[in-house]
Amino acid sequence: MSNRQTRSKISLRVMHGDSIAIGPGKADLLEGIRDTGSIAAAGRAMQMSYKRAWLLVDTMNACFKEPLVLTSKGGASRGGAELTALGEDVLKRFRAMQKTVEASVECEMDALVDLLAD
């Protein structure tokens, strides 16, 4: 694979009105929350402020019928976050959609990448 091909990619986003309900970055954030139990830690791992991570979670929670992420208050025992069953399902479906899209456009993407400037 050439350097051009490794720099080029197709991106999938699911819009709900004017909001991005889920996209690659939000899916990465959901995985980080699932793996760390923390919005702050997931955001830090992505070089993102806590405020930005929280806003993304808030948007996702507002776009779906039920929240994707549940949070617990801080205090002496510190707070936390976890994916709901719906959050796990949305993440799994989005990752499957990404694979399907990438596979279905592979030939056209290769041809298009060949037309890109070096």
- On whether the CB atoms of residues 81 and 70 are closer than 8 A, the answer is yes
Question: Other CB atoms closer than 10 Å to residue 117's CB: what's the count?
Answer: 4
pLDDT single digits (tens) 5-56: 567 889 999 999 999 999 999 999 999 999 999 999 999 999 999 999 999 9
Tokens of 97: 């959609």
Choosing among 1.10.10.10, 3.40.50.2000, 3.40.47.10, 3.30.390.50, the CATH entry for 3-114 is 1.10.10.10
Q: What is the reported pLDDT for 73?
A: 80
Task: Note the pLDDT of residue 17.
Answer: 97
Let me know: does 39 contact 28? Beta carbons within 8 Å: no
Name the average pLDDT for the chain.
92
Instruction: Give 19's strand partners.
Output: 16
| Domain locations in the chain as residue ranges | 3-114
Checking if the pLDDT of 96 tops 80, the result is yes
pLDDT in tens, 55-84: 999 999 999 999 999 998 865 556 799 999
Q: How confident is the model at residue 4 (pLDDT cuts 50, 70, 90)?
A: low
pLDDT for the residue 39: 96
Map residue 21 onto helix, strand or coil.
Answer: strand
